[in-house]
Amino acid sequence: MKLLAPGTVLDGFAVGEVIHSGGMAHIYRVHYADGRPDPGFAMAMKVPRMAGDDGAENLLGFEVEHQIFQTLGGDHVPRFVAAGDLARLPYLVMEYVPGRVLQHWLDEARTLRQRPDAQEIARLGQAMAVAAHSLHQQNAVHLDLKPANVLIRHDGRAVLLDFGLSWHAHYPDLLAEELRRAVGSPAWMAPEQVVGVRGDPRSDIFAIGVMLYELATGELPFGEPATTGGLRQRLWMAPPPPRALNAGVPGWLQEVILRCLEPEAARRYPSAAHLAFDLGHPDQVVVGERGGRTRGTPLRTHLRRWFRAAGLQYEPSPLPSQAIREVPIVMVAVPHLDASDATLYSLRQAVSRSLGIRPGARLACVSVIAPVDSGQDEIDAHRLHLERLRQWAQGIHLEGHQASFHVIESGDVARALCTYARGNHVDLMVLGAATHGLQMQRLVATVPMRVVMDAPCSVLLVRQATPFALLDAPPDTRGPQSAHDRSPAPV
């Protein structure tokens, strides 16, 4: 169809200039033409291309986006305003979000012939992972994440665009029903997408890994294959390690990137929140063999993967929200002042039980200390408390679990704990209950009470008990006391 002329009025919207003209759609600035006040933000109208040679995929993608887009919310998708009638003129009106797409950083690096530094790559990757996690929590998977579809706001948050190839657990998968073939952008598609499996949130993690790889090296890890055979190679082929192309890539960043790009979804990060955590705490990334590679994968490894891939049966994943609930981030607040052996023992037992029933969980051990004057004293204080955290965690069975250790300086313990939990997408916080009575708590808001009221996650309050006391306790009184969904419990 022809471009809409500026000044055209469509269903009460006045069309302005063209913002973007792509292969799938045209995007225009719009505002209300009937005197209604704008909704408090700038608006854009997306109209799919419908010329004779554009193909049915454009209209099908519009149907998918029309179906999914208006169900999504949060800071990481544009706000929905209105939709047009598919039988007359299909369009979507949404929030116009100012910012720059990720492609800007790639183009800038080519122009300057200088790659972004590791901290900048981590910042961009963390923003993408947080946005993807928000989408997965809403039972949707994007399935077409690429530099043109990730917009970075001026405040650093990422906004995901273009849901025409997406999947939602609560709606029919029109693309799978109609096209019966791999759907996506070839350079960024995950291996399971190549064989027709849609709905796995780890496919978005793979796409983020491709973008991180290109940011770090200037190259696409698998090129831009144009055939099915070329696409299938990613089921067993590993790309050259980033450090082979850019010696300045640190080991921790290569470890993160190559974990995202594992051919088998089970070997990638279990959730986008876990990926965001590593990118936000590079000093806590455990660098293994992946992070140290400087040469490509041996041929015998590719052959072994080829045989395994030939007989591999990909199974549909569970609901994205269910999948990420099974791999939570568990945080434990470990006190360092006036902490009795009984308190430390009880916390350790509670954490062990919490990890035991959550095989994919990640553990973050946190201590909040008073602010320390800058200089060597601050470094020594952090080293001391980090070592204490590691010693405390030695009694926890951590096999199969990632663990990290963090010391935070703050004069407000409760606020520091809640801020950490919010910023790192913690699902469960474990901390010790107050040791004084209810009468005192009515007069003074204790740290546990403030945390329970303000925490963005479930909270497990643990009463202190020594192993000897537990031997004499009735069976129904053993174990931690919990407060779920911010509901205070008597402590």
Highest-confidence range of 165-179, 189-203, 206-220, 329-343, by mean pLDDT?
206-220
- Domain assignment of residue 222, yes or no: yes
Q: Does the residue 130 lie in any domain?
A: yes
End-to-end CA distance of the chain: 68
Q: Summarize the confidence of residues 124-146 as an average pLDDT.
A: 97
Work out the pLDDT band at 21, boundaries 50, 70, 90.
confident
Looking at residue 309, what is its pLDDT? 63
- Per-residue pLDDT tens over the stretch 357-373: 888 999 999 999 999 87
Q: Which has the closest alpha carbon to 62: 31, 79, 83?
A: 83
Domain that holds residue 289: 100-318
Query: What are the tens digits of pLDDT across the range 463-488?
Result: 876 555 555 555 554 455 444 444 33
User: Each residue of 248-291: pLDDT tens digit?
Assistant: 999 999 999 999 999 989 999 999 999 999 999 999 999 999 99
Q: Can you tell me whether residue 81 is helix, strand or coil?
A: strand
**CATH number of the domain encompassing residue 189:** 1.10.510.10
CATH number at residue 68: 3.30.200.20
223: pLDDT strictly greater than 80? yes
Residue 489 lies inside a defined structural domain of this protein? no
Query: 60, 95, 130: which is the final residue of a domain?
Result: 95
Confidence (pLDDT) at 247:
95
Task: State the pLDDT confidence band at 457, using cuts at 50, 70 and 90.
Answer: very high
Residue 38 has pLDDT above 80, yes or no: yes
Position 426 confidence tier, pLDDT thresholds 50, 70, 90: very high
Residue 4 pLDDT > 60, yes or no? Answer: yes
Structural domain contains residue 346 = yes
Statement to judge: residues 44 and 105 lie in one domain: no
243 part of a folded domain: yes
Domain count, the chain: 3
> For all residues of the chain together, what is the average pLDDT?
87
Asked whether the CA dihedral 439, 440, 446, 450 is positive or negative, the reply is: positive
Kindly state whether residues 153 and 282 are assigned to the same domain. yes
Q: What's the rounded mean pLDDT across residues 163-170?
A: 92
The Cβ of residue 153 has, within 10 Å, a number of other Cβ atoms equal to 15
Question: Looking at the domain assignment, is residue 174 inside a domain?
Answer: yes
pLDDT tier for residue 127 given thresholds of 50, 70 and 90: very high
Residue 487's pLDDT is what? Answer: 39
In this prediction, residue 82 carries a pLDDT of 95
Alpha-carbon span 451 to 275, nearest angstrom = 26
Domain final position from 271, 293, 318: 318
Residues 120 and 191 in one domain: yes
User: Where does the pLDDT of residue 35 fall: very low under 50, low under 70, confident under 90, or very high at 90 and above?
Assistant: confident
Q: Residue 203 — pLDDT band, cuts 50, 70, 90? A: very high
Q: What are phi and psi of 432, to 5 degrees?
A: -75, 145
Answer yes or no: do 195 and 164 share one domain.
yes
Q: What CATH number has the domain bearing residue 361?
A: 3.40.50.620
Show which of 300, 318, 336 is a domain's final residue: 318
Shared domain check, 280 and 344: no
Please say if the pLDDT value at position 297 is more than 80: no
Same domain, 402 and 308: no
112 plus 228 within the same structural domain: yes
Say if residue 216 is in the same domain as residue 310: yes
166 is a domain residue: yes
27 & 83 share domain: yes
Q: Is the pLDDT assigned to residue 10 strictly greater than 50?
A: yes
User: Do 250 and 257 meet the contact criterion of CB atoms below 8 Å apart?
Assistant: no
Q: Say if residue 443's pLDDT is above 60.
A: no
Q: Considering the domain boundaries, does residue 125 fall inside one?
A: yes
Same domain for 310 and 232: yes
Looking only at the bridges linking them, the beta strands covering 428-432 and 458-462 are parallel
How many Å apart are CA 311 and CA 314, to the nearest integer? 10
Whether residues 185 and 310 fall in one domain: yes
pTM strictly above 0.95:
no
> Could you tell me if 265 and 147 lie in one domain?
yes
Beta-bridge partner residues of 429: 331, 459
